[in-house]
Structure 1
Amino acid sequence: MRIISANLNGIRSAANKGFFDWLATTDADVVCVQELKAQLPDMSETMLAPPGYHGFFHPAEKKGYSGVGIYCRRQPDRVITGLGIADIDMEGRYLRADFGMLTVISLYLPSGSSSEERQQVKFAFLERFMPHMATLLAEGREIVVCGDWNIAHQPLDLKNWKGNLKNSGFLPEERAWLTALLGIGWVDVWRSFHPEAPGYTWWSNRGQAYAKDVGWRIDYQIATSGIAATAQAAAIYKDVKFSDHAPLTVDYAFTA
């Protein structure tokens, strides 16, 4: 099973840059997308349901902001939109699809980089999301949570880690939260498969960050141990730049 996670930084912008042409070549089973920055009426037929895929979405209430989606070849048995927490759900940050005993979730965790107020929103999200992740584990299903987590976990996960110790995305509290999450039984699939490869997935649009590969690894597939153990390959696609993020692809020897 091939699962892809991609922050599009605007689905219409990514489409214009060839994202859906590329998607048609990937042979992916499930594709999780984040930061749609669009409402359903804004999206073309291809964006809503690319050939061979079913499309499901959780847009933000605010136009041109946030939003997540899932494309899947197989019709899900169940789709759950949102966490049931009003202030989180209005921003379109969580979408779940169940296939047999497999669950795939598209997640867009808040960024706190724009202001101290947004950093507090991010901390509030983390505080409430940890119990949810524990509840998911207790379901006894195989689960893959794909998305932009907006946290670089370790110094290996960003180029200039010493200069970012006090910046959102690499704050001690954020990193400790992710450590705690992995400590209750979740697995960072890329890092378990590539223990020494940085695996950057996001580059600032400032300066020559992309050209110089001054990046951050903030897009993850966080999975239950069973399906994580079946990972056969993990790759980041950089041949074409659809967004300020790069798609993360993981192949699992798993059948839902």
Structure 2
Amino acid sequence: MSAVPIRMVGMTQTLRVASVNVNGVRAAFRKGMGDWLASRGVDVLAMQEVRADDSHLAELFGDEWQILHDPCNIKGRAGVAIASRVPAVAHRVGLGSAEDQERIQSSGRWIEADFEVGGELVTVISNYTHSGEVDTPRQEAKWAFLDAMGVRLDQLAAERELVTIVGDFNVGHREFDIKNWKGNVKRSGFLPRERAYFDRFFGPRGETVVGVDGSEGVGHGWIDVGRRWAGEVDGPYSWWSNRGQAFDNDTGWRIDYHVVTPQLGERVENYVIDRAASYDERWSDHAPVVVDYRVGA
């Protein structure tokens, strides 16, 4: 594998991390994902809903990329992967304890990779949270997954400083994050109980946080890069339904995040969602979220 130099900025380096739900990586490449990737200067690419085998990924990405892949144990479902031009020094798959896997169902949904960049350790995690469905086992799996994510947030924050959890979280945290939020408050993806998890994820670490559903919990202290960068505005959205004119009217959801430790949050140099210029130019129903992080001495 040939390494491509990371961009230098003075004595520091810029690590470009992109995340996207590819909605089937083979279909995405057929529709133009390869052209986007070739032109975007990405160092680490986290993918969700890969729905492919290792051999497919190797063929699509070639020798320039290292591929770490956790396929779902149900063929044709989910699947997360991390493609990098910088070799990972370690990686882990799955979320939660082995005893909890039946409830959490994290197969093909969580993969962590550690990278040494500029003398620092940076951890990138590709996350594909369950979409859920109210009053069904699918929603119960989502609750269990979100519970396990909260536990892992605290573990990671205690272990290391520079971590970014990226991907399709399948929850719009605030009213800014969904164009038609009023019509979705009883649907999975914008349930008050789901949103309360995010209130805690982004609440002050160790302090009591009152969620939008009235629940109380302890804040984890992580940073939502997209909201910090964009400010208190609608969107910018990262997913649009294929129904009707949702994309053309920008009737979208912001459900794809970069969730980072406070230390890495101070290293953000740029944030952008690569929304396609037109409906016909899309290669997934999600748009890539691309963030530049300053690393090194």
Task: Compute the TM-score of the two structures, normalised by the length of structure 1.
Answer: 0.94
1:136 partnered with 2:149: no
Counterparts of residues 104-253 of structure 1 (less than 5 Å): 104-113=124-133, 116-183=136-203, 184-197=220-233, 198-239=235-276, 240-253=281-294
Q: CA deviation at 1:57?
A: 0.4
Matched, 1:52 2:88: no
Asked if structure 2 preserves the Cα contact closer than 8 Å seen for 1:20 and 1:50, the reply is: no
SS at match of 1:206: coil
Q: Residues of 2 paired with 1:241 and 1:224: CA distance? A: 31
TM-fit CA distance, 1:114? 7.8
Between the aligned partners of 1:127 and 1:117, the Cα distance in structure 2 is 15
- 3-state SS in 1 of match to 2:40: coil
Which amino acid in structure 2 is aligned with residue 217 of structure 1? Answer: R
Q: Quick one: distance in 2 between partners of 1:157 and 1:56?
A: 30
**Structure label with greater radius of gyration:** 2
Paired position in structure 2 for 1:67: 79
- Please say if 1:25 is aligned against 2:39: yes
CA–CA separation in structure 2 for the residues paired with 1:213 and 1:73: 33
Contact 1:130-1:181 at 8 Å conserved across structures: yes
What's the RMSD between the two structures over aligned residues? 1.7
Unaligned stretches of 5+ residues in structure 1: none
Q: CA deviation at 1:26?
A: 0.9
- What secondary structure does 1:253 align onto? strand
Shift of 1:103: 0.4
Which AA in structure 1 matches 2:194? Answer: E
CA distance in 2, matches of 1:19, 1:173: 35
The one-letter code of the counterpart of 1:52 is: E
Distance 1:255 1:143 in 2: 14
Q: TM-score w.r.t. structure 2 length? A: 0.81
Aligned length: 254
- Taking a change above 3 Å as real, the CA distance of residues 131 and 13 of structure 1, as seen in their structure-2 partners, is same
CA distance, structure 1, for counterparts of residue 132 and residue 259 of structure 2: 21
Give me the identity figure in percent: 41
Q: Which residue is equivalent to 1:254? A: 295
Give distance in 2, aligned partners of 1:144 and 1:193: 15
Q: Residue type matched to 2:221 in 1? A: G
Query: Unaligned stretches of 5+ in structure 2?
Result: 1-14, 204-219
Q: CA deviation at 1:10?
A: 0.6
Deviation at residue 113 of structure 1 after TM alignment: 3.5
Contact 2:69/2:82 (8 A) holds in 1:
yes
Matched, 1:35 2:35: no
- Which 4+ stretches in 1 moved above 6 angstroms? none
Tell me: CA distance 1:44–1:226, structure 2 relative to 1, closer, same or farther (3 Å): closer
Per mean C-alpha deviation after superposition, the further-off stretch among 31-40 and 218-227 is 31-40
- Kept in 2, the 8 Å contact 1:61–1:90? The answer is no
Whether contact under 8 Å (2:57, 2:67) holds in the other structure is no
